[in-house]
Amino acid sequence: MSVNYNNTAAGETISLAAVSKTYMTAKGPLPVLRDIDLEVKAGEFVSFVGPSGCGKSTLLKIIAGLVSYDTGNVSVGGEAPREGREDIGFMLQQSVLMPWLNVSKNVELPFAISGRRDGNTAKRVADLLELVSLTPVAKLNPWELSGGMQQRVALARALALDPGIMLMDEPFSALDEFKREFLNIEVAQMADKLGKTTLLVTHSIGEAVLMSDRIIALGANPGRVVGDIKVDLERPRRADMVGSDRYQQLSNEVRAALASDLEGEKQ
Amino acid sequence: MTKSVLYRVGLPTLVGISIIGLWQLMSALGAINPIMIPSPWDISVGFSELVTRGYFWQATWVTLQETLYGFAIGVSLGLIIGALTGTFPMFRTAIYPFVIAFQNTPRVALAPIFLTWFGFGITSKVVMAAVICFFPVVINTVAGMASVGDNAKMLFRSLGASRAQMFFRLTLPGASAVAFAGIKTALTLALLGAIVAEFVGGSVGLGVLIKELNFQLEVAKGFAVVLFLAVIGLVLYGLIELLERFLITWKHD
């Protein structure tokens, strides 16, 4: 692979202090996040795990500026969050590719929307497709690709404007186990090389352990931090780490943090 | 490939030929009253006579104009109203209940009113065709715009898309496949609207010709015109399908 990893934007810091959020629903107010404090270092890979309704996705959307917060402070790369920041790449559960655009044009979309399309765009798109190993399918249509390939196109699109921060909201949950593990390793290695600050929302404890530097366990109703676990597996991450003792220990630590919250809720 | 084309074209052709053959046989045996249902042979003889008459082609031209003008006006208005309804919630709240209410009234009942308003000429038929084909376009455009997923909208927001970019790069292409289904229905309805309006009151057109031929008990020729209308409908539908394939390349089986 001839892609140059050295010329990419450096990761940025993210800081949340006492952030709370309540959604107003037809049945009344629904608190989703309460007093979230979090410091993410530049270039750090942090995963959020927790049960449904713990506000993981809302947290990501607050950082992306797509959802407002009620109280507290949020700083993303030293600025207040707002939507449409070019230093944030966003990847969702579904690949959300435009069926009327081919693979190349889908990756080019952020350039077109931001008005940053120029003479270098074609080269940049080609590099991104090479980075995600999709050069041979550049001219194909999205529906001609497998689910895993579609998510790789989404990854290339999220990296298009060379953001310092990558936000990934359950990007692998729609994939089968094999493809998921393969992409976990690929993305974790890519994050190492690119040095971007990466936040991943996932339901999979194993995925979080395999990919992250740190795991934030969130309890539900409302969402709050119930565990902050440092993952000290060596980098680069490899698929065989899944069977290691340390991987099991870390998985158990995350599980225990989540379980303690569930126990507390029952009592 | 060859096998599937043979299957898709050959099978319905075989069914069609069998039905016509059976129909002709029953007519020849006297099992069908020719005043009620003329034989395929009589219909083809009637048609071969009609095509030599200038008035037949004049009627065809008038009906085609009514259909296509009505279609163009109905579809244009339908797309505009549908896009406004799908884009602006206030517009939707204000207008959509009336669209739905009007959709559920039998619009052919308006034909005599249009005749009073616009006279016996082409205008009353164009208006009827436009009114009858307007609704499926509005409803499908609104449905198409509603079908654009929240995730796609969120992605565009995260990319900082303006309102215009959101509309032209996401909503418009995203809605077009469903909207086009409405446009296809509209074309068939436009022809129907033009013919109904001609029945109610007109001096030229294939609808007028069918009525006159029936009054003269030229039933075979009347049938020939009906079948000719079916062919016109099929050709127009084929053309709009071609246009759809050209414009909406991502709609795949």
Q: What is the pLDDT of residue A264?
A: 62
Q: Which chain A positions have a beta carbon within 8 Å of B174's beta carbon?
A: 98
> From the CB of residue B58, how many other CB atoms can be counted at a distance below 10 Å?
13
| B166 CB within 8 Å of a chain A CB | no
Are the beta carbons of B161 and A113 separated by less than 8 Å?
yes
Of B201, B223, B235, residue with least CA distance to B128: B201
- Shared domain for B90 and B169, answered yes or no, is yes
| A115 CB within 8 Å of a chain B CB | no
Q: What is the pLDDT of residue A265?
A: 61
Interface test with A, best of B154, B156, B159 (most A CBs within 10 A): B159
What average pLDDT score do residues A69-90 get? 91
**Tokens found for residue A149:** 């390939």
Are the beta carbons of B160 and A84 separated by less than 8 Å?
yes
The number of distinct structural domains making up chain B is 2
Q: Which strands make up the sheet holding A28-40, listed edge to edge?
A: A28-40, A14-25, A71-76
| B247 CB within 8 Å of a chain A CB | no
Q: What is the pLDDT of residue B201?
A: 86
- Shared domain for B87 and B184, answered yes or no, is yes
Residue at B55 is within a domain: yes
In which element (H, E) is residue B191 found?
Answer: helix B172-200
- Is A97 within 8 Å of A32 (Cβ atoms)? no
Residue at B211 is within a domain: yes
Residue A263 predicted with pLDDT over 80: no
Q: How far is residue B19's CA from residue B252's CA, in Å, rounded to a whole number?
A: 33
| A90 CB within 8 Å of a chain B CB | yes
Residue A4 predicted with pLDDT over 60: no
**Tokens found for residue A80:** 């207040």
A74 three-class SS: strand
From A110, which residue of chain B is nearest by alpha-carbon distance?
B159
Q: What is the pLDDT of residue A266?
A: 58
From B253, which residue of chain A is nearest by alpha-carbon distance?
A143
| B173 CB within 8 Å of a chain A CB | yes
DSSP B36-96: TS--HHHHHHHHHHHTT-HHHHHHHHHHHHHHHHHHHHHHHHHHHHHHHHHH-HHHHHHHH
pLDDT range class, residue A85, cuts 50, 70, 90: confident
Read off the DSSP letter of residue B166.
I
Q: Which chain A positions have a beta carbon within 8 Å of B159's beta carbon?
A: 84, 109-110, 113-114
**Tokens found for residue A14:** 């993210």
Q: How far is residue A79's CA from residue B18's CA, in Å, rounded to a whole number?
A: 76
Q: Indicate the pairing of strand A28-40 with strand A14-25.
A: antiparallel
Are the beta carbons of B160 and A90 separated by less than 8 Å?
no
- Shared domain for B14 and B81, answered yes or no, is no
Nearest chain A Cα distance for residue B156, angstroms: 8
- Is A36 within 8 Å of A19 (Cβ atoms)? yes
Q: E-strand spans in B93-133?
A: none
Range of the domain at B240: 38-247
- Mean of per-residue pLDDT scores for chain A: 89
Phi, psi of A225 (to 5 degrees): -75, 125
Q: Which among B157, B158, B252 has CB closest to A143?
A: B252
Q: Which among A100, A113, A143 has CB closest to B160?
A: A113
Nearest chain A Cα distance for residue B87, angstroms: 20
Q: What is the pLDDT of residue A65?
A: 93
Interface test with B, best of A60, A62, A96 (most B CBs within 10 A): A96
| B149 CB within 8 Å of a chain A CB | yes
| B160 CB within 8 Å of a chain A CB | yes
Q: What is the pLDDT of residue A2?
A: 41
Nearest chain A Cα distance for residue B160, angstroms: 3
Domain parsing of chain A, residue ranges: 14-87+164-266, 97-162
**Does 3.30.565.10 match the CATH number of domain A14-87+164-266?**
no
> From the CB of residue B2, how many other CB atoms can be counted at a distance below 10 Å?
6
CATH of the domain at B223: 1.10.3720.10
Q: Which among A96, A114, A141 has CB closest to B155?
A: A96
In chain B, the N- to C-terminal Cα span, in Å, equals 15
- Is B189 within 8 Å of B136 (Cβ atoms)? yes
Q: How far is residue B214's CA from residue B221's CA, in Å, rounded to a whole number?
A: 8
Q: Which among A84, A112, A143 has CB closest to B158?
A: A84
Residue at B175 is within a domain: yes
Q: Which among A66, A88, A112 has CB closest to B154?
A: A66
- Shared domain for B108 and B15, answered yes or no, is no
Q: How far is residue B184's CA from residue B192's CA, in Å, rounded to a whole number?
A: 13
Q: How far is residue A185's CA from residue B182's CA, in Å, rounded to a whole number?
A: 46
pLDDT range class, residue A1, cuts 50, 70, 90: very low
Mean pLDDT, consecutive 10-residue stretches, chain B (253 aa), reads 76 92 91 87 91 92 96 96 91 87 84 90 94 93 92 92 92 92 93 93 90 89 93 93 89 63
Are the beta carbons of A93 and B151 separated by less than 8 Å?
yes
Q: E-strand spans in A66-223?
A: 71-76, 88-91, 165-169, 197-202, 214-219
Q: State ipTM.
A: 0.86
| A229 CB within 8 Å of a chain B CB | no
Residue at B126 is within a domain: yes
- Shared domain for B141 and B23, answered yes or no, is no
pLDDT range class, residue A52, cuts 50, 70, 90: confident
